[in-house]
Amino acid sequence: MQKHLIFGIAAAALLVTGSVMPAAAKDTYDPKVVAGAKKEGEVVVYHSVNRKALSKLCKTYEKKFGVKAVCTRKGTGGIIKMMTADTMAGVNKCDIVSVGDTGMFLIWKNKKMIQPYKSVNWKKMRPDLIEPEGWHHPARLTYYGISYSTKKVSKADAPKDWNDIFRPEWKGKLGVVNPRTSGPGRLWLSGMIKIYGWDYFKKLSKMKPLIIKSSSTAAKLLIRGEVSVIVPGSDHSIAKRVKSKQPVALVYPKSGLMGKDSRVAICAGAPHINAAKLWIDFETSKQGQAIITNTAAYPPTRTDVKLGYSKFRPGPEVYKKENSTWFTPEHGRDIGPKERKQFEKIMKAGMNM
């Protein structure tokens, strides 16, 4: 199994009790933060989570606290552009930012584009995911394997590990999510480089794969049967599609899944600082994490929240840290423009483009 790369366990923040929820929910909030958020009146959120999950988070936040949630949902690339545009314009618009590229939080920290805050939920999050100084918090987990079309491929014939995609029968039938345009693609690129080196991609180029702009587009092609196998395939997306009886399935590779957590942080100069703190506490709460896993199927970052869509996934052992290659924000920065250009160069050379 591949080595699981983790953060060290941080000291827990002091909990300040003062429930604003029904006792049965067992979530805790700081009454001073709640009062401050109500006075500010709104929170501005830039978020890359599933659109349906974000909508539910925003509506629940508004109803629970009486604070308006102005939420913008874009992919990771779109959110990064918004943050960059705000910084270049010298304006402070956002209170909360969350993207799937965890390495961006290191960049934003260094550029002073985010600020630290230790959530009241510190003790409830997975210890290996905690950032010691509170610059960013684990918001959701994502795992990647190999997805395939059940119209085109039987379970017995499906690839069993990352190297199996090089079998002759997959030539011209393989889809690859582009690392130049997709966060999941970049993570997969990083993982394959670490495990196999650049020779992996030289072999891949000879398979004449279809290079696909995004994971969502890849899923549509898979459902229509226009490709037979796709790397990487997301665990949460496939679980939802299997529940909907769509003709797709996921291989959990023998050598382990690729895994990461998406982060959430408070923007530097947040106009509504208390509402921002309250959002962090809400998104990392038991209720917030339950919304994310039950709506969007992302595994939760808390130890006391049950995995959503569990009937459509294998047992919990596949998510154990020793069974996956895990990427922290530091490792997320390993893949930059140079590596992505190298990927493109190899693909073009192998496909005679």
Strand 68-73 with 96-99, pairing:
unpaired
Candidate from 274-278, 307-311, 337-341, 349-353 with smallest mean pLDDT: 349-353
Query: In whole angstroms, what is the distance from residue 272 CA to residue 69 CA?
Result: 11
Provide the pLDDT confidence category of residue 76 given band limits of 50, 70 and 90. Answer: confident
Shared fold status for 23-141+262-312 and 143-258+328-350: yes
Percent of the residues in the chain that have a pLDDT greater than 90, as a whole number: 72
Query: Is the pLDDT at 17 greater than 60, yes or no?
Result: no
C-alpha to C-alpha distances, 85 to 72, 93, 159, 269, nearest whole angstrom: 15, 10, 42, 15
Q: What is the mean pLDDT of the chain?
A: 88
CATH architecture of the domain covering 143-258+328-350: 3-Layer(aba) Sandwich (3.40)
Structure token pair of residue 71 = 């939420």
* Distance (Å, whole) CA 312 – CA 302: 20
Model confidence at 181, in pLDDT bands (50, 70, 90)?
Answer: confident
State the pLDDT at residue 353. 54
What region does 287 belong to: left with phi over 0, alpha with psi -120 to 50, or beta? alpha
What per-residue confidence (pLDDT) applies to 135?
97
For the chain, domain boundaries = 23-141+262-312, 143-258+328-350
CATH fold of 23-141+262-312 reads D-Maltodextrin-Binding Protein; domain 2 (3.40.190)
> Taking a C-beta distance cutoff of 8 angstroms, is the pair 227, 175 a contact?
yes
Residue that wins the pLDDT comparison between 5 and 221: 221
Banded pLDDT at 10 (limits 50, 70, 90): very low
- The whole-number average pLDDT for the span 139-147 is 95
Q: Calculate the CA 331 to chain-centre distance.
A: 14
Nearby residues of 110 by Cβ (< 8 Å), 6 or more positions away: none
End-to-end CA distance of the chain: 36
| Alpha-carbon gap, residue 334 to 344, rounded angstroms | 17
3-class DSSP state for residue 87?
Answer: helix
Distances 51 to 56, 166, 207, 208 between C-alpha atoms, Å: 9, 35, 34, 33
Alpha helices by DSSP H, the chain = 31-40, 51-65, 76-89, 104-110, 183-196, 199-205, 215-223, 235-243, 273-283, 286-296, 329-332, 337-350
Please give the pLDDT value at position 18: 37
Q: What's the maximum distance between 2 C-alpha atoms anywhere in the chain?
A: 64
Distance (Å, whole) CA 290 – CA 307: 8
